[in-house]
A and B are shown apart, each in its own frame.
Chain A
């Protein structure tokens, strides 16, 4: 009898349940999308923060002092120690290699162009490398997204070059021209604008810079862009002062310090350090944005819960006459309340499932249109969201059901109230 009542009520009173069902669907969809976005926003924003460039720099261990003023190197070109280019792919073998977005080696050398001293900077643009069987691409186009080229980027295996904006303007050179370095002429494929010292330099593939300086395989500096976890007390401790267990935890957390430590392990005779300007500020910006999204998600949950409760209360209030009839026919309060609660639960489960699917689509849409990447939705979210939907629906119904049950059947049937 009870099952039949619920079944018939669902079959016949579609219109009355429509509003409540729409409210639950929409509420759950919004809640799902917002929770998904809020849980993923940290990852998405820290990827966006990588557009600030490398947060780690690797230098040779016995490196001499930089003599740089305003980005201009005053040091004789043959001075100092170098890293070995052949060691670079080993970065892919470190523990946190999935967190390393990209790296770019730098080799500044002094050369002369039309009798004037200029710096030629050798680097990777978008170089194809292999570590074991794994192939990957890295270079300044990934680590320094603010570098803009008018024309085309040179191929890493060619001997084409880019000219810095200021240098090109001063010497009246254009895309497609040639420059002569030593006795060899090189094609200028593009004009580079960075807003930094590179605007005054020639930027070339690494192998060309190595030829010019006569040191095959030499790299002066290596910039690494890595996704890191904001620093905390553990991160700042020196690894030597840790217990074995703490050390494991430190080593297996993507702190900028532990990634630096691992880079040093991977590349022989090197010293890795965080670039504090980039690394230190990431944490604050990230925590602010995450905090903001958390609060906004709470607001959206509240709004969804209210919408669902309001719709349920309205739906039940409209059915006073029905309650009156059931009471007049001898139904107890418990039976009537049970009927409404079961109905509410069924409605919450059905509309909640539809809403969850809608929320997934919504989250995906937000991810695609704002961040150009997928927003991952944890499957564990499904039961949680459904349970939330049922609880909110119950809470929203409880007050209305209590009032409906307490109502005198005589008045209800006469249509007063």
Chain B
């Protein structure tokens, strides 16, 4: 073995191990202070992680709540014409699980005493999910059961009795299963199961109401795809629903962002003040190292490495706890878990390390100006 390399290695080896040993011993010997600095770091990183996670996730969570407002896209045949028989299948394949599509077919029928009433055919199972605000006394069970709107009931079946409706000479006998109240035009209609409706009238659905999930851009692309897949019909957004949602969501996110900014600022300040205290507290170590001949660079490196290590460990621990807090908030407030966002980790990690380094640099520049003798004398 070459003797000169051995010498170099000897020169290097103790140096690095000494550096690591100093770092470790410093942490172990002053457990109390190091622990309090670490706790501050962990709490700050946890709060920041939870806030960022919520900020990213709240959109998806609230969008789900907003879908309770019902359809945000409708597909109608040109000039109120019927849609082709495979229209619903096409729509279902376009939205592909990212939403709900419900067909509606309408005709004007006559009651036994000659009054006109709008009769609609639809899929009750789907309507229950799409229009959760419908207030229904009882959903129809069998095929000859009808759901009668509150105002239509006064005309067709005031006491809940069975009634007849006729359309183009064909008459159907129906039971009134329940009453429907919405406060809108649905109150004046009679709803039948779609299959029963088609057998009776031979009329296909003319409207498909769709609750598409996702961001406004995703909904727009669904609309574009629907217009392509169904050239004989119009797919258009329900602006009332889309704009209301965008507005409320935007304001909520802005408020949350402001809150997150303030909270992160406060916790960064907390970390900064704790770490400055921690470093200042060790001015005697600094003085001894300097008196024993350590270069300024080495000392700066030592304190910087210590702070960076603290920042890194704190960030990782804090990230784990913060994810837990965000999940808990999701469970409590939205009854759904908040998905951990690992892309929050890099900003948290580098942010923590940066704050820790700043906290080490400020007292270092103060201490550098003081002669070691003065510090060691305890002044």
Contact = CB atoms under 8 A, between A and B. Distances in A.
Interface stretch (B91-99, B213-221, B274-282, B294-302): B274-282
Given A23-B270, A51-B247, A195-B237, A306 B65 contact: no
B237 to A, nearest CB: 6
The bracket for how many chain A residues form the interface is 35 or more
Among A49, A65, A300, residue most surrounded by chain B Cβ atoms (within 10 Å): A65
A252 interface: no
Contact of A281 (B115, B133, B151, B152): B133
A196 interface: yes
B66 interface: yes
Interface stretch (B9-17, B43-51, B347-355): B43-51
A288 B378 contact: no
Q: Which secondary structure characterizes the binding site on chain A?
A: helix
Interface string A319-350: 00100000000000000000000000000000
B248 A65 contact: no
Contacts of B51: 296, 299
A276 B134 contact: yes
A404 interface: no
A130 interface: no
B35 interface: no
B291 interface: no
Given A276-B135, A300-B259, A313-B274, 5 more contacts: A195-B240, A276-B133, A278-B69, A303-B44, A415-B379
Given A37-B259, A146-B239, A295-B332, A48 B251 contact: yes
A275 interface: yes
Nearest to A52: B244
12 contacts: A52-B241, A65-B117, A196-B240, A273-B183, A280-B132, A291-B332, A300-B262, A306-B44, A310-B273, A310-B277, A366-B255, A370-B254
B207 interface: yes
A414 B207 contact: no
B101 interface: no
Contact of B69 (A52, A74, A144, A300): A52
A20 B131 CA distance: 55
Nearest to A321: B378
B28 to A, nearest CB: 17
A285 B65 contact: yes
Contacts of B134: 276
Interface of B: 36, 40, 43-44, 47, 50-51, 54, 58, 61-62, 65-66, 68-70, 76, 80, 106, 108, 115-118, 131-135, 151-152, 155, 181-185, 187-188, 206-207, 236-244, 247-248, 251-252, 254-256, 258-260, 262-263, 265-267, 269-271, 273-274, 276-277, 280-281, 284, 325, 329, 332-334, 376-379
Q: Specify which of A30, A68, A306 lies most central, judged by the most chain B CB atoms within 10 Å of its CB.
A: A306
A70 B206 contact: yes
A64 to B, nearest CB: 9
A23 B273 contact: yes
Interface string A289-329: 10111011101101110110011011001100100000000
Contacts, number: 234
B313 to A, nearest CB: 18
A295 B333 contact: yes
B176 to A, nearest CB: 16
Interface in A35-56: 37, 41, 44-45, 48-49, 51-53, 56
Interface in A60-89: 63, 65-70, 72, 74
A176 to B, nearest CB: 25
B135 A311 contact: no
A219 interface: no
A361 to B, nearest CB: 13
B266 A300 contact: yes
A194 B243 CA distance: 11
Contact of A65 (B115, B256, B379): B115
Contacts of B273: 19-20, 23, 307, 310-311, 314
Contacts of A145: 243
Given A44-B251, A307-B269, A49 B274 contact: no
B188 A67 contact: yes
B118 A68 contact: yes
A279 interface: yes
A385 interface: no
A57 interface: yes
B266 A27 contact: yes
Contact of B266 (A295, A304, A415): A304
Interface string A167-197: 0000000000000000000000000011110
B35 to A, nearest CB: 12
A70 B207 contact: yes
